[in-house]
Amino acid sequence: MGLMLLSVLFAVMAYATYANDIHLLLDKMTLGEKIGQMVQIDISYFMIPNTAKVNYTLMESYIRQYPIGSMLNSPFSGGPVEGKTGWTASEWRELMKDIAQIVKDNTKLNIPVIYGIDSIHGATFVKGAALFPQAINIGATFNPSIALSVGEITSKDTRAAGIPWIFAPVLGLGLQPLWARFAETFGEDPYLAAQLGASVITGLQNSEKYFGNTTPKKTAACMKHFIAYSIPQDGHDRSPVQLPDRLLRELYLPSFQAAIDANVLTAMESYQEVGGVPMVSSKDYLTNLIRKEMNFTGFLVTDYAEIENLHNWHMVSSTQKEAVLLAMQDTTIDMSMVPLDSTFYEYLYQLVQEGNVNISRIDESVLRILEVKKELGLFDMELDPAEDNSLTQSVGEQADWDVSLLGAEESITLVKNNVVNGQAVLPFSKGTTTKVLLTGPTANSSASQTGGWSIHWQGIYYEYEENKKVTVLRGLQTALTEANVVYTPGPALDATSTTGIDFTAITALAQDVDVIVVCVGEGTYAEKPGDINDLALPQGQIDYISELATLTGKPIVTIMIAGRPRLFHTAVSVSSAVLLAYQPGPLGGQAITEILLGTVIPSGRLPFTYPQDEGNVMIPYHHKYSDQCVVSTGFHSTSYIQCIPEWTFGTGLSYTSFVYSNLQLSATTINENQDITISVDVENTGNYDAKHTVMMFVYDLYRRVTPEYKLLKRSVLYFFVLYQKTN
């Protein structure tokens, strides 16, 4: 008896010691156990095909043979299975417990699996969790505290599902408007992306709000995609990138460095090649830059199937085995998102045995992975039922949805608001008695509002759960009553013309309305399936707006609901007011309605430069002085000017007005180590209390390396109440 008790105690102690000393654990590991840690497998590999059931027999025998360190994804990422759209937090926890049990029963060392998931704008794959506006909207809020809350709630809901690792945030800059992942960025500015990205990471990793003491951390963030994935030359997802070193350091690196400074625990590399070298085999970026220059000490995972892609897609290695060798030799990649077979494991095992990959290379990676597992408390994680319940019950709570609504309200950007008959078109002057003709392909689409990574990878393609969706149609009907809202769908999203639209009927419908609200834009997509060949809004949508304006003579309010800046062409000039909603989330229609009515004063600001024409794209506000366009000034006469976008970075109107005065500098010359204090008085001189972001740009007049036109250095969102003057 005494002896048995002793050995049980000893086992418990040994387990606890691993948590404190991962080197001790490493010493006990066989080569297979080490390589296993570096393997990440997609859960879909373990599913019984076309069912929502896990094949546990397969998982068990697989883990016995390959003691893998990680799994990812949701079986529902491709769409509903067996009529189910996703797992609840409790259902996820069952899976996590089952995996933990299988690891315990079938591996000698019982090293916990780290499960990773794409909780992109909220816990995408946890049923019932709040979904937030996409990152581009968070960019438009200019509000780090919203980014922080989004991170905290996303962490809470993901951890409620028992999942400790989140593949977010995206830290690439939104500079290439064609790119299908534009909406996943915070926009084109390095300062803004760094500030908001670090706030999301702090929310994800240090959410004391929900977890109290956050040692160990509850979820790990993953900065992605390292690096410069967001600027494909041809605009297509995963296409080659040119990356001059100076631009890398000035523009693309700061957001990632801010993430490292915020202690981000993991990183993901990216799909594209740079100057002929795939990122996944790049010594420059994945060894020298990320580790030596930027001092990233967390673990680095590949993107999906990227090592395989060295052979299949990048054409740099003639065999899969050579692909593994390349990635191991040239980079510091720690984990391969394999994701659907055991080839990475097998080849790496052979490469070490043959002496082509040194065991010290493997040990380094395994230690980095074990360190993160330790920081997340996975070694001593008991799935405590009490914690389960409180977290599970909080998934999708009202407070979370309030943040989603606030994010939509603060992001929607008013870019045009004409005065018609002596009165600004917005907000509606007749308030809730306004009569509206509502039309357009995104007017009643929660799929357009939520975009990709919503319930499923490509987004929802059916209507969202009733109680949490507010399309523009529903928002207006609720606020103005159904009697005051006439609705007709208008052209399809991809209409190339207005042929077939009954304008006689629509003109009749418009007869007694005060205003026409047209919602245009895009459907839902994610990653490469969202590639387009033309940045313009489909011609049918553009023509529809013009024809409505000409035929009805009513003021037109155009609302763009799209994940990237689809070109308006003639649609701006015929509209009396224009709102950019980006992808404002399930409650976007409510936020839009509030702004139309003036119950919310718009404060969103464009986080990127909105191009006007096909040729003049990728000219961000921080372009060079010599980026110039030509205008005709008469017969055979031209002049060169700064190119004119549709709207520049930072554009965003309000219903009130602000006056800036009394700019003061604490010094007029400083050296590079000195601080400077800059102040300005800002007064709300209009008629409404309102939020407003004050931005500070700097520029160099002359510089040996050509200066940016200007560059944002600080921005702060304030709430300005009206200031009553007493004389």
Give me the residues that bind ligand BGC (CB under 6 A), please.
Answer: 72-73, 118, 167, 224, 303-304, 527
Token look-up 């996703």 returns 86
CB of 688 to ligand BGC, least distance (A): 40
Alpha-carbon distance of 162 to 128, in angstroms, equals 15
CB of 400 to ligand BGC, least distance (A): 22
Q: What is the 3-state secondary structure (H, E, C) of 243-298?
A: CCHHHHHHHHCHHHHHHHHCCCCEEEECCCEECCEEHHHCHHHHHHHHHHHCCCCC
CB of 211 to ligand BGC, least distance (A): 24
Complex with ligand BGC: residue 234 or 293, whichever CB lies closer: 234
Complex with ligand BGC: residue 125 or 720, whichever CB lies closer: 125
Q: Name the nearest CA neighbour of 364 among 640, 590, 26, 83.
A: 26
CB of 359 to ligand BGC, least distance (A): 29
Alpha-carbon distance of 589 to 572, in angstroms, equals 21
Q: Name the nearest CA neighbour of 230 among 186, 282, 275, 191.
A: 186
CB of 708 to ligand BGC, least distance (A): 26
Alpha-carbon distance of 671 to 572, in angstroms, equals 46
Judge whether 608 and 426 are in contact, CB under 8 Å. no
Complex with ligand BGC: residue 224 or 692, whichever CB lies closer: 224
Q: Helix (H) and strand (E) counts for the chain?
A: 23, 24
Complex with ligand BGC: residue 238 or 692, whichever CB lies closer: 238
Complex with ligand BGC: residue 57 or 312, whichever CB lies closer: 312
Q: Under 8 Å CB-to-CB from 407, ≥6 apart: which residues?
A: 132, 133, 137, 138, 141, 146, 150, 584, 585
Complex with ligand BGC: residue 42 or 543, whichever CB lies closer: 42
CB of 173 to ligand BGC, least distance (A): 16
Question: How far is CA 681 from each of CA 322, 470, 481, 659, rounded to the nearest angstrom?
Answer: 62, 39, 42, 8
Judge whether 306 and 338 are in contact, CB under 8 Å. no
CA angle 220/221/223 to nearest 5° reads 145
* Neighbour tally for 531: CB within 10 Å: 17
Alpha-carbon distance of 345 to 218, in angstroms, equals 29
Complex with ligand BGC: residue 249 or 528, whichever CB lies closer: 528
Complex with ligand BGC: residue 197 or 611, whichever CB lies closer: 197
CB of 268 to ligand BGC, least distance (A): 6
CB of 106 to ligand BGC, least distance (A): 26
CB of 168 to ligand BGC, least distance (A): 8
Pairing of the two strands 419-420 and 423-424? antiparallel
DSSP code of 133?
-
Cis ω for the linkage preceding 49 (within 30 of 0):
no
Judge whether 335 and 300 are in contact, CB under 8 Å. yes
Token look-up 């590949």 returns 302
Q: Under 8 Å CB-to-CB from 708, ≥6 apart: which residues?
A: 250, 622, 623, 624, 699, 700
Q: Which of 303, 330, 400, 543 is catalytic?
A: 303
Q: Under 8 Å CB-to-CB from 62, ≥6 apart: which residues?
A: 41, 46, 68, 342
On the 0-12 / 13-18 / 19+ scale of CB atoms within 10 A, 633 is: exposed
Q: Name the nearest CA neighbour of 442 among 566, 561, 579.
A: 561
Complex with ligand BGC: residue 113 or 520, whichever CB lies closer: 113
CB of 679 to ligand BGC, least distance (A): 41
Q: Is 303 a catalytic residue?
A: yes
Q: Name the nearest CA neighbour of 86 among 99, 70, 73.
A: 73
Two structure tokens written together for 376:
């997340």
Complex with ligand BGC: residue 143 or 230, whichever CB lies closer: 230
The phi, psi pair for 653, rounded to 5°, reads -90, 165
Complex with ligand BGC: residue 92 or 544, whichever CB lies closer: 92
Judge whether 114 and 376 are in contact, CB under 8 Å. yes
Nearest to ligand BGC by Cβ — which residue?
A: 167
CB of 64 to ligand BGC, least distance (A): 26
CB of 167 to ligand BGC, least distance (A): 4
Complex with ligand BGC: residue 167 or 299, whichever CB lies closer: 167
* Neighbour tally for 1: CB within 10 Å: 5
Catalytic residues: 303
